[in-house]
Structure formats: structure tokens, C-alpha cells
Amino acid sequence: MDLRPMTYRVGAGPSSSDDGPPPHDVPSGSRTQFFTQGEYWKTSRRTMNTKLMKPHAVSDYFPDINSTTSEFIERVRLLKSQHRDGLSVSELPYEINKFTMEAVGKMLLGVRIGTLEKQVSPKIQQFIEAIGRMFLTGHQLMAFAKVHQLLRTRAWREHVESWDTIYSLSDELIAPQIDAATRRLEENPPAPGDKLDLISHMVAAQTFTREEIIDNVTETFMGGVDTVANGVSFLFYLLSKNESAQSKLRAEVDNVLGTRECTMNDLQAMPYVKAVVKETMRLFPPIPINARVTQEDVVISNYRIPKGTIIMLNNYTMSRDERIFSDPDTFNPDRWLRAESATWHPFSAIPFGYGVRSCVGRRVSENLMYISAIQMVQNFFLKKDPSFDITPLVRTQFAPGPELPVHFVERGLSSPCTYPMASEQLGALTASAVPLGFREELRAVCDDEEGNN
């Protein structure tokens, strides 16, 4: 059966053309891995695979992931100290979002964006808000996008404006990297085996225009930030709720690492860390629904499905199927360590999709989640705040809502965190001056859906 990934562009409807890049019809770059098929997609995917999927390339990101995570841990320490209960972090999912933006940004753009700075610059603040708004309005445009476009609805206008803001800043961040890479490569042509960052690698490939590099890197970044942020949020939530799993995780981390940083090699000795992340993705897949378009007539389970039909795959229900996962709603990482897991249908839980179009950020996402889990238990005991619970929402992606009921209790190990921030500096830090407009709006939408208004 030939199934193609369904690519969907606002205003353009599903596309499955083989004719290379479709035209721009919203400010979103369309000449990217997400939105193309055929030869153009293959070239771009091959280039990204080299930097994001190959083990030796992925291993190079570990020092950056470790140091960004350490900064985030220090930020948690600061924010909880400013909270009235001394244990919680207000708007934790938003803080996690800034953390993953910084981590994924460094991997893809090669530069630090500055979202974890004590004072986030107004421009970066705008960027963060625009990404949030783009996802929020993108969800509203899922149905009847053409009608929104025709009527120029508020959702449509805000969506387009958000992409404008995102592209204007990513141009500013990425263009200098392209120039610098071009100069470097002209002066010192790369030898086989030289380590190049993603942008230099794309420049060296000589198959992409400058705009194509900017579009590709920007949209890969957009695809990565919220997904992995939602994964990390659900991870912390589930650990806080399941203290015995958390203790097992901590025991493994203490045994293998103690207080030192994790390298890619260490992961081989930490099956429970991996099982915890797998189990999080099973219960709360950040992309709850995936899709394909049939390329020929097929019969599946006695249903005739004509060519050109969009088939939706519901990751959420698939991975909670009790015919495969006993006690499916329970967080039980051990299930992945039992011999029987090898016999499960390979499609029983596919949070990163499947096949050649599966997630190109899978390896880096998993590593970011492993290191987040590791550093969290090295530094804190996570306890569930008994006063409330999450009500997950689908906002294009599956997200936990605006607050997480997680308390951070200091573990008090000596030097658990490698981030060299002196305590005086910490004291001087203030929560970043963030205009609340967008977040309040998101909260209002969530309250609406929960019937709180």
C-alpha cells in the first residue's frame, strides 16, 4: 500500500504533489521538509538526517543539552524561591517552553537565543509570543482555513502576523550564521570527516539557496520546540505523580552517574531512563494525531478506501489500547523492560511517526528528555501538588495546559548542577519582565474549554 504523508498548508489544503516546492501563499516558508514531497524533500531530509539522526552527530549535542538543562534547573530554583509556597513554579509549561526553545535553537541555529536570560530582550519576547500565538491560531484554522482566509478573520490575521514576526527574527538569527559559514568554508574548504554545524553543513552541500536554508531551519525549529516542551512537561508531571517510578529512576541515575553529567555512552547503562521517556510518550504523545494520504485504492479490514483519502492515525488511543498494554492508563515504565514488550506490534505506540517521513528530531528530542529527567532527579524530589490536576488540551499539539501541579523539593546533594552561577548572581536575578497578554489569552481559552468561565 502506498501512503504519502499529508502536508497541509494554511489556505492551500492538502497537497501531495511531486512537483517540488509549492509556492508561498502565507508568510510561512514552504520550501521545507515539512511541506514538500519528491526530490526536493529527499535532498533536504538527507541533509537534516546527517546532522540530526546520525549517532556521532547527535552525540556532539550532549554538552550543549547538558549546560542548557543546568541553566533551566537554576531557573527553576530561582522561580520556586520567588513563589509564595517556595515549591512551585508559576506557568511552568511556559518556562519549559523557553528552555526547549533555547536547547533546540542551539542545536539547529548554532547560537544561543537568550530565552533563559535574566532579562529576556523585547525582540526575543516577541518571538516567544509569536510562536505561541502561531500554534494557538493554527489550531483555530484547522477547519475551514480557506473561509478564514477569505473573510480575513482575526485568527487568520494573527496567524499570518505571527509567521511574519517569526520569520523576521529567524532571518536575523540565521542570516549571519549563513554568511559566517560561507566565509569560513571559502577560506577553509571542509575536508571529509570535518565536524560542521547544521547551517555550515547546509551551506557546504551547495544545494540550497539562502532563503531555503532559512526556511528549512526555521520550520524545523518550529516543529521541534513545542513538541519537545510538551513531552518534558508531561514527563515532570508523571514523575511527580509516580514516586516509586521516580525513586527507581533516581537510583539508576545515582548508580551510573552520581552527580556528574550524562554522556551518550552512559545511556547504554540506563534502561530505566529510556523506559520512563517511552512511557511518557505512550501516555501523552505530543502529536496525538498523524495522517497519511492513500496513493491507490486499498481495502483495510473490509473497508474500501479510495485513492486520495486522508487517513488519520490516533496515536493517543492506539497507545492506550488494552489489548496490547495491560492497565493502559497507568504509568508503568517497567512494561518496556519486560521481554514481552519485544512482541508488541511495532505500531502500538508511534509518537514520532513511522517510515521515511518519521520525525527527524526524534533522537535529539529523546536525548533532551533523558537529560531533563536525569538532571531533575539529581537536583530535586518532584512531588505532585495535591491542590489541582492537569486537564490536557489539544492545541494543534497535545499540551498540559497553563500550569503544572509539580512541587520541587531540594535534594541537597553537593554540586549536583554544573552551571557555574554564583549564588549572589542568582539572588540578583529577577523573573523576566514578560508582558502577560498572550499567556492570559491562552489561559482564558483553556478555562473556556474546561467550563471554568
How far from the centroid of its chain's Cα atoms is residue 199's Cα? 20
Instruction: Report the candidate in 258, 280, 259, 255 with the shortest Cα–Cα distance to residue 269.
Output: 255
105 touching ligand HEM, by CB under 6 A: no
405 touching ligand HEM, by CB under 6 A: no
Between residues 225 and 270, which has the closer beta carbon with respect to ligand HEM? 225
Between residues 227 and 240, which has the closer beta carbon with respect to ligand HEM? 227
282 touching ligand HEM, by CB under 6 A: no
Residues in Cβ contact with 143 at an 8 Å cutoff, skipping those fewer than 6 apart: none
Between residues 313 and 434, which has the closer beta carbon with respect to ligand HEM? 313
399 touching ligand HEM, by CB under 6 A: no
Dig out the grid coordinates for 129 from the structure: 509570543
Select from 180-188, 216-224, 381-389, 441-449 the region that touches ligand HEM (CB under 6 A).
216-224
Number of residues that bind ligand HEM (CB under 6 A): 28
Distance, in Å, from the CA atom of 289 to the CA atom of 298, rounded to the nearest integer, reads: 21
Select from 192-200, 221-229, 335-343, 440-448 the region that touches ligand HEM (CB under 6 A).
221-229
Between residues 213 and 287, which has the closer beta carbon with respect to ligand HEM? 287
Between residues 101 and 178, which has the closer beta carbon with respect to ligand HEM? 101
Least Å distance, CB 318 to ligand HEM, is 12
Residue 324 exposed, middle or buried by CB count within 10 Å (0-12, 13-18, 19+): middle
Distance, in Å, from the CA atom of 327 to the CA atom of 325, rounded to the nearest integer, reads: 6
**Beta bridge partners of residue 165, listed in sequence order:** none
- Contact criterion met (CB below 8 Å) for 52 and 59: no
Q: Half-sphere exposure (CA, 13 Å, Cβ side) for 131? A: 24
Rounded to 5°, angle at Cα 41 from 141 and 32: 45
- Contact criterion met (CB below 8 Å) for 114 and 124: yes
Q: Which segments of 19-54 does DSSP mark as H helices, in order?
A: 38-52
Distance of CA 352 to CAs 285, 291, 321, 424, Å?
Answer: 9, 12, 18, 42
Over the window 5 to 44, marking each residue x when it contacts ligand HEM by CB under 6 A and - when it does not, the resulting string is x---------------------------xx----------
Among 24, 45, 383, 439, binds ligand HEM (CB under 6 A): 45
Distance, in Å, from the CA atom of 374 to the CA atom of 381, rounded to the nearest integer, reads: 12
Between residues 272 and 316, which has the closer beta carbon with respect to ligand HEM? 316
| In the block, residue with C-alpha cell 510538551 | 230
Least Å distance, CB 342 to ligand HEM, is 22
Select from 119-127, 166-174, 226-234, 340-348 the region that touches ligand HEM (CB under 6 A).
226-234
Among 286, 288, 402, 405, binds ligand HEM (CB under 6 A): 286
Least Å distance, CB 184 to ligand HEM, is 23
Please give the sequence-ordered ranges of beta strands (E in DSSP) within 184-328, or none if there are none. 289-294, 298-300, 303-305, 310-314
Which 329-368 positions form the footprint of ligand HEM (CB under 6 A)? 351-355, 357-361, 364-365
Between residues 41 and 156, which has the closer beta carbon with respect to ligand HEM? 41
Least Å distance, CB 265 to ligand HEM, is 22
Q: According to the annotation, is 262 in a ligand binding site?
A: no
Dig out the grid coordinates for 160 from the structure: 499570518
Dig out the grid coordinates for 290 from the structure: 498523524
Distance, in Å, from the CA atom of 437 to the CA atom of 444, rounded to the nearest integer, reads: 11
Between residues 125 and 315, which has the closer beta carbon with respect to ligand HEM? 315
Interface contacts to ligand HEM, rule CB under 6 A: 5, 33-34, 45, 52, 104, 108, 220, 223-224, 227-228, 231, 286-287, 290, 351-355, 357-361, 364-365
Bind-site residues for heme: 359
Binding residues: 359
